[in-house]
Structure formats: structure tokens, C-alpha cells
């Protein structure tokens, strides 16, 4: 038997030094880490809103382009940064010698600018510490993104202008720390260009305060008949979705789904929040299939309500966005497949 004493991260590469620009796909797990490092260092980056081809290679939705013109840093510095990153992470960076492509060219309006992010994560009394901790772990341990942990009870009294994105994890037990003043302040902050991201039962608070707008479905659970009092706990317990895996359809052209290569995704779910899809199909980029259960338990009634429902709600307010996920995209720091949904909400919220 061969023992393994050292585990090393696979490395990537930069194709070659370019005098025009660089491209890297959003498919790679560590692409958000590179994008954040670039934008935090003042390097302009753009995201492709549609696919294109260059030098015989196809590039997908969400490809990142680094032009070398009009950058504050010299081309040698950018090349050195890309080379250093790819020497430590399995990510391929391609060189471009021209902006003339098959499809959108580099000067097209279908390349959107990606702005640096500054993130606040609501924590404290009334916020699920599990959910907040999982989100913090993703930022700190996976992507090296600094995040401010902001007490939810202080939202109405602090200056939010320094943040581009604010995340509300699922609400925990006890009184809701977000009052009417907090709702009003967050709405004004979004109106001025912020992106507000909510999870699970926080969506109900966002909806009731007109920060989101959606209708919900209720599972058609039959009234209990011929059950004794000591059977009531099992009756209610049967309707709890404690944690199961479900299949959803995705619209890969929507920025919330950039980086995925198939039109299906597996979502972890442990709530019974069922959102009605909107009448316009392009407003439903993430919806459960008609046979969604992949693994785990869900009652027949809740399964019926889940079919075809939306896992996402997005609302524009002024210059900003509110994005709500019904499901935990970062469950216990091992559900890697949906981490990208949160990163897309952060980096590409302006393009939604």
C-alpha cells in the first residue's frame, strides 16, 4: 500500500504573455478568487454576457476578460499576478492577440464591467449562526474575500455606504432583529445601487417589506383523522423537510447561473418555502423540475408543491438588486456545487 504524506493543489497556467488581453473561464471553482484579487488590485475586468469564439476556442457565458489597454497597472505586473495565481490554483488563463472574435468582440456592450465588491454579512441575535458561519467560511477559507460581520440589530443605525453587497442569512430563533427602520434603510441603500442577498426564511421578511415580490405555494396537507394525541408529533414531523437533494433546471444565459456547463443542477434544501414562478419564463432562471427528488425524504404533499417552483427571486429597486435564495447554497461547507450561485449574485448582480 502506498502512503500519501503530502497533498498538493494542482496548478494551472497562463498560456503566454500577451500584449492585448487575457481570458479565463468562470467554470473553474477558484475563478471567483482570481476575479476578486484582480478587482481589489484595481485591474479592470469584464464579463461576457454571451458566448463567443477566439482563435478556434469556444468561450462560454461568464468568461472573464482582462484588457491590457487603459489599466492602471503595467502589463508585466498583470502577467506576474496571473502567473503567481495559476502556480497555486488549477485555473487556465488564455492569451488574446486580437479582439476580433466570432460573436461578440472585446469592445461589445455584451462585455459588462465587473466592479470590486465590499461585503457585509449580518450576524448576531436573531440570525442563524450556522448559516452565517457557513457563508463566512466560504469567503474566508475558499476565496480569500474579506467580509464585515455586521450585527443585524445595528443595520438601522450604521452607515452602509461602504458596502456593495449585504447578505442576510436565514433568520434564527428569537425576535427578528430587523425592524421597520432597517427595512427602510436597506431599501434606500439598494435604490442607490447596492445588492441585497437573502436566504431561506429571510425571504419572507424581504417580501413582507416589499424588498422582494413573490407569491408562495402551500402544500395541500390533509387534516389528521383517526390519530391520537400521542401521534401528533409524527403527523407534523412527516411534513418537515430536514435535508434532501433536488434537481432544478437552470437558464445558463442568466448571470446567476454563469459558470455551469449543463442545464441541470442539484440543490440542497431543508425548508418548505415554495415560490410560484413568474409569468415571464426569462424571470425564472432557477426552477425545480417536475421530478425533482434526487436523494433524501420529502412528504408527498411538499414534493407536489415543490415541482416547477422557483428557487430564486430577484427584484430591481432603483439602481440596485435584491436576490433571494430559497435554499442554502453553502450547506456545512461541503456542498460545493452551489457556492457559485452566491458568487454570481455578488459579482454579476448589476448585470441581472
Are the beta carbons of 31 and 62 closer than 8 angstroms?
Answer: no
Angle between helix 339-348 and 31-40 (nearest 10): 30
Q: Name residue, grid cell 396537507.
A: 221
Domain boundaries, the chain: 13-114, 128-229+241-351
HSE toward the beta carbon, residue 215, CA cutoff 13 A = 6
Tell me the per-residue pLDDT of 138-195, one tens digit each, with 9 for 90 and over.
999 999 999 999 999 999 999 999 999 999 999 998 889 999 999 999 999 999 999 9
| Per-residue cell: 81 | 499576478
Q: What is the pLDDT of residue 5?
A: 82
- For residue 107, the model assigns a pLDDT of 85
Rounded mean pLDDT, 130-141: 96
The pLDDT confidence band at residue 334, using thresholds 50, 70 and 90, is confident
Query: Distance between CA atoms of 147 and 140, rounded to whole angstroms?
Result: 8
User: CATH 3.40.50.880: does it fit domain 128-229+241-351?
Assistant: yes
Segment 202-237, tens digit of pLDDT:
999 999 999 999 999 998 888 888 889 898 899 889
pLDDT of residue 326: 97
pTM as predicted: 0.94
Q: pLDDT at position 105, please?
A: 84
The per-residue pLDDT for range 272-327, each reduced to its tens digit, is 999 999 999 999 999 999 999 999 999 999 999 999 999 999 999 999 999 999 99
pLDDT band at 72 (very low <50, low <70, confident <90, very high): very high
Q: What is the pLDDT of residue 174?
A: 82
Averaged pLDDT for residues 341-345 = 98
Mean pLDDT score of the chain: 95
pLDDT at 2 > cutoff 80: no
Q: 171 forms bridges with which residues in the sheet?
A: 127
Amino acid at each position: 500500500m502506498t502512503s500519501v504524506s503530502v497533498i498538493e493543489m494542482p496548478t494551472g497556467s497562463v498560456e503566454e504573455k500577451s500584449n492585448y488581453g487575457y481570458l479565463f473561464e468562470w467554470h473553474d471553482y477558484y475563478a471567483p478568487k482570481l476575479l476578486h484579487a484582480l478587482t481589489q488590485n484595481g485591474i479592470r475586468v469584464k464579463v461576457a454576457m454571451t458566448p463567443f469564439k477566439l482563435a478556434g476556442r469556444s468561450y462560454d457565458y461568464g468568461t472573464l476578460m482582462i484588457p491590457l489597454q487603459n489599466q492602471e497597472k503595467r502589463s508585466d505586473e498583470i502577467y506576474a499576478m496571473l502567473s503567481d495565481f495559476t502556480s497555486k490554483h488549477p485555473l487556465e488563463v488564455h492569451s488574446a492577440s486580437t479582439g476580433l472574435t466570432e460573436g461578440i468582440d472585446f469592445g461589445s456592450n455584451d462585455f459588462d464591467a465587473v466592479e470590486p465588491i465590499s461585503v457585509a454579512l449580518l450576524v448576531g441575535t436573531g440570525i442563524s449562526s450556522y448559516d452565517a458561519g457557513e457563508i463566512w467560511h466560504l469567503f474566508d477559507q475558499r476565496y480569500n474575500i474579506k467580509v464585515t460581520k455586521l450585527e443585524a440589530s445595528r443595520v438601522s443605525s450604521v452607515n452602509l455606504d461602504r458596502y456593495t453587497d449585504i447578505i442576510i442569512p436565514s433568520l434564527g430563533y428569537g425576535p427578528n432583529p430587523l425592524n421597520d427602520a432597517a427595512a427602510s434603510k436597506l431599501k434606500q441603500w439598494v435604490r442607490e445601487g447596492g445588492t441585497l442577498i437573502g436566504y431561506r426564511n429571510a425571504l419572507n421578511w424581504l417580501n413582507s417589506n416589499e424588498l422582494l415580490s413573490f407569491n408562495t405555494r402551500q402544500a395541500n396537507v390533509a387534516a389528521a383523522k383517526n390519530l391520537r394525541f400521542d401521534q401528533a408529533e409524527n403527523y407534523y414531523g412527516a411534513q418537515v423537510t430536514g435535508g434532501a437533494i433536488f434537481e432544478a433546471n437552470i437558464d445558463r444565459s442568466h448571470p446567476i447561473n454563469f459558470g455551469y456547463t449543463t442545464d441541470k443542477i442539484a440543490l440542497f434544501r431543508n425548508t418548505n418555502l415554495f415560490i410560484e414562478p413568474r409569468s415571464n419564463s426569462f424571470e425564472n432562471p432557477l426552477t425545480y423540475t417536475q421530478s425533482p427528488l434526487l436523494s433524501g425524504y420529502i412528504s408527498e404533499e411538499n414534493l407536489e408543491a415543490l415541482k416547477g417552483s422557483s428557487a430564486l427571486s430577484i427584484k430591481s429597486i432603483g439602481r440596485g438588486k435584491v436576490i433571494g435564495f430559497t435554499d442554502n447554497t453553502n450547506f456545512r461547507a461541503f456542498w460545493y456545487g452551489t457556492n457559485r450561485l452566491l458568487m454570481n449574485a455578488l459579482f454579476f448582480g448589476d448585470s441581472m
